[in-house]
Amino acid sequence: MLTRLNEIEQEINTFPVSDKNNLEEFRLKFISRKGLISQLFDEFKELDKAQKAAFGKKLNEVKHLAESKYEETKTKLDELEAQKKEDIDLTLPARKFSVGTEHLLTKTLNDFCSIFREIGFKIAEGPEVEDEYYNFDALNTPDWHPSRDIQDTYYIDNKLNDGKRYLLRTHTSPIQARTMLNEKPPIRIIAPGRAYRNEAVTVKNYFTFIQVEGLYIDKNVSMRDLKSVLNYFVKRYYGNDIVTRLRPSFFPFTEPSAELDITCFLCKGKGCKACKGTGWIELGGCGMVDPNVFRGVGYDPKEYSGYAFGLGIERIAMMKYGISDIRLFYQNDVRFLDQF
C-alpha cells in the first residue's frame, strides 16, 4: 500500500491543472466519491490494526495534498476569471468623436444668401430636372439658337409622353422665367441651385456646379443698379481692396450683357497663375433683362426694366479660400473638408 500511496502522491503533484477542465479531471480522479483516495480509504478499512497504524498517517497526508491542490487551484482560476471580466484600463484616453462640419460650398452659399437677404432679396427655387422651355425658350434661346450648343446639355428620356423635352438645367436662369410667370413686379430674388453641363472635367470645370441667380425687376432699373449691387456684394464678401469690373459679353436673355470680374483675390491684382497673369478673375455673367424675355412672360418692356446675374459658388469659394482645383469640392476627402 505504501508504494501505491507514494505513486498517487507523485501523480497528484504532477497532474497538470491549468484550467477548469483539467481541474475537474483532477477532482474526479482523486477526490470524488469514486476517486482513487476514496478507494484507498475503502481498502484501508479492511486492514488490521498494525497496518492501519503504518499507513493511516500517509493516507491522510495524500488526501490533504489532493484537497489543498484542488482548492488552491480553484481559487486561483476563479480570481483570474474575475479579473478578466473587469479588464478595463480606466486610464486609457476616451475614444474620439469626430464632429462633422458644413461643407465649404454650403457655407459659401449660405454666406452669399445672407448678404443678399439683408438687402431685401427673397430666395426662389426651381427644379433641377427642367422643362426645355424654361431652360432655353423662355430665355430668348429658341431651338436654332447657336448658344444652345455652348451649354452641353444632358437631356432626359421623357417617359411622360407630354410632348415636352426635359433636361438637367444647365444654369439657374430658368428660375427667372418661372418667377416672372408667377409673380408681378417689383421682383427681387436670388435663386441658388445645382446646374449640370456635359463638360470635360478639369481643374476649372466640373459636370455639376452651384450657381446663384439674381433678378431684380421694377420701374427704372438701370445698369447702375446692377453694378452697385454686385460691387456691394464683392466688397462685403472679399473686403474693400477687391474691385469689380464689368466686361462686355453676350447672353441671349440679357441686353446689354457683361461678365463680372473681380481683382484676383490671391495676388491682389498683381497677376499670378490663378488669374493667368491678368490680375482678374471671372465670377459669372450678368446684364439687363432682354425685352424679348419680358414679352415672353407678358411684361411690358416699356413699363419695366430689370437686371439679372448668375454667379458660380465654386468660383466664389475658390477665390475666397485660395483653392486651385474645383474637383476638390466633390472628392469628399476629409483632409480637404476638415480645413474649413
Strand 122-123 versus strand 187-196 pairing type: parallel
Per-residue contact flags (x/-) with ligand DAH for residues 221 to 260, judged by CB under 6 A: ------------------------------x--x--x---
Radius of gyration from C-alpha coordinates of the chain? 43
126 binds ligand DAH (CB under 6 A): no
- Nearest approach in angstroms of CB 160 to ligand DAH is 26
Per-residue contact flags (x/-) with ligand DAH for residues 197 to 216, judged by CB under 6 A: ----------------x---
- Nearest approach in angstroms of CB 242 to ligand DAH is 21
**Among 252, 130, 257, CA closest to 191:** 130
Among 174, 192, 287, 306, binds ligand DAH (CB under 6 A): 287
201: left (phi over 0), alpha (psi -120 to 50) or beta: beta
Which element (helix H / strand E) includes 194? strand 187-196
Of the candidate spans 29-37, 49-57, 263-271, 278-286, the one that interacts with ligand DAH by CB under 6 A turns out to be 278-286
Among 73, 108, 141, 173, binds ligand DAH (CB under 6 A): 173
309 binds ligand DAH (CB under 6 A): yes
Q: 3-state secondary structure string, 255-316?
A: EEEEEEEEECCCCCCCCCCCCCCCCEEEEEEEEEECHHHHHHCCCCCCCCEEEEEEEEHHHH
188 binds ligand DAH (CB under 6 A): no
**One-letter amino acid for residue 100 of the chain:** G
Q: Which residues bind ligand DAH (CB under 6 A)?
A: 171, 173, 213, 251, 254, 257, 284-287, 308-310
